[in-house]
Chain A
Amino acid sequence: MAFEILDPTVEPRKQPLTYVARPDSLKGKRIGLVENTKYNSDRLLQKIGAILVSEYGAADAKMWRKHNASVPAHDEIIDEARRGVDVVVAGVGD
């Protein structure tokens, strides 16, 4: 005999997400680096920051460290990045 079953899944809530336009050039831009606490992620990002300054003309590079690898950047990082940098490099070092 036919019957119905209920769907156990959900769709994630949708929310608007707007990206800042990518700069045409990094010349004179202030770079933010978000380090995820994994081994060597700080060294990798420092190297990336140095390359962006020496080869692409960025003004400087500043690094922040997340609380741990599993959480988003905390509010202090977001606030400082919003005020103090033009470009952010973040990634998962593992």
Chain B
Amino acid sequence: MATTVLASARHKVDDLGQAIELCYERGWTDGLPVIPPTEVAVRGMLDAAGLAPDQQITNITNRQVVVTAEKVAINAVMAGCRPEYLPVVVAAVEALGDPIYGYHGPATSTGGAAPLIIVNGPLARTLDFNSGDNLFGPGWRANATVGRAVRLVMRNVIGTLPGKLDRGTVGHPGRYSYVIAENETESPWTPLHVERGCQPGQSAVTVMAAMAPHQVYNQLSNTAAGVLDTFCDTMKNPGMVGQPHYCLVIAGEHMRTIAADNWTKADIRNYVFEHSKNTVAHFKRTSRMPGTIKPEDETAMRPIVSRVEDILVVAAGGRAGTFSCYIPGWASRTASTAVTRVIKEGRA
């Protein structure tokens, strides 16, 4: 039977300042100050989500760590989450524990990936996740604190500590928080979570092991193909070869240009898949692939992902500006695959 007892160790502090400093001293922060996790705050978080403290959220087998609702709630309080955000954090943590996400690889690898968390469905609007201006930037509590909570769980519960079980060589700023919502209100396209099997009325997170965003600028073309040609020209020279996914984040002006040609997300994927290929010779010449260049390598075309459907398309970003971005995935399909999880509210 589920217990209501909070089993975590308790630390007595004299005041707020000492609590914040204690969290630094213990290595519990991401470098920024955290909200001290009091029992009242943690209980409020669990109650809002209808979760018992000892409920298992996921089990990271490689690390022999069971992640409980209590630990997720404590870290969510520390990150600054509102109680109603907890189901989103929980869904993302569940996704991290899915074997096909392969937690240990993207969390530990020198590649320095971060979990990109894309929020879809009604909750994205209710909880005010940003899907527009300054998409990846600061200023939205939901985006900033949900991703931060996930990172704190990775750090404090699963042991993903820089220099130890986090060996990212350069990492990227998304490791603080990497959360966006899809702009379903203005998008002409099928939402990401529906493409991935959810119902339109459901809310969901899609979690992808991801490198940093690469911006694409095209102010000149007024056709879908013209806009996507700029994407493809950049993407065909990737930092790495063989990624499991690419995520295209298409912002307002580009979205409207592409939609005006009646292109669907499937059309976008097919076009990008075909036009972002490069030759094996190019990859060998630029030391992205091993081996000597053979004559046939000059015409052997290699796609950026192994399957068309491994390109994720998300409508998000500001309405003004001819910028969009793409986000390369980490490693390979055998190492990590994006996971979509329905956000469950009021589970108890």
Contact = CB atoms under 8 A, between A and B. Distances in A.
B8 interface: yes
A18 interface: no
A4 B38 contact: yes
Contact of B11 (A5, A13, A70): A5
A6 B105 contact: no
Contact of A8 (B14, B65, B156): B156
Given A5-B13, A71-B104, A10 B71 contact: yes
B10 interface: yes
B251 interface: no
Contact of B37 (A8, A13, A67): A8
Residue from A1, A4, A69 having most chain B Cβ neighbours under 10 A: A4
A6 B12 contact: no
A11 B23 CA distance: 17
B36 interface: yes
Contact of A6 (B38, B62, B109, B331): B38
A2 B39 contact: no
A8 B27 CA distance: 10
A72 B102 CA distance: 11
A6 B37 contact: yes
B74 A12 contact: no
A5 B37 contact: yes
Q: Is the interface of A mostly helix, strand, loop or mixed?
A: loop
A7 B15 contact: no
B13 A4 contact: yes
A12 B156 contact: no
A7 B10 contact: yes
Residue from A8, A68, A69 having most chain B Cβ neighbours under 10 A: A8
B38 A67 contact: no
B208 interface: no
Contacts of A7: 8-11, 74
Contact of B105 (A3, A12, A68, A94): A68
A68 B78 CA distance: 35
A10 B65 CA distance: 8
Nearest to B63: A12
Given A8-B74, A68-B332, 6 more contacts: A2-B13, A3-B13, A6-B9, A6-B37, A70-B109, A71-B104
Interface of B: 6, 8-15, 19, 22-23, 26, 28, 36-39, 42, 62-66, 70-71, 74-75, 78, 102, 104-106, 108-110, 152, 156-157, 159, 290, 331-332, 334-336
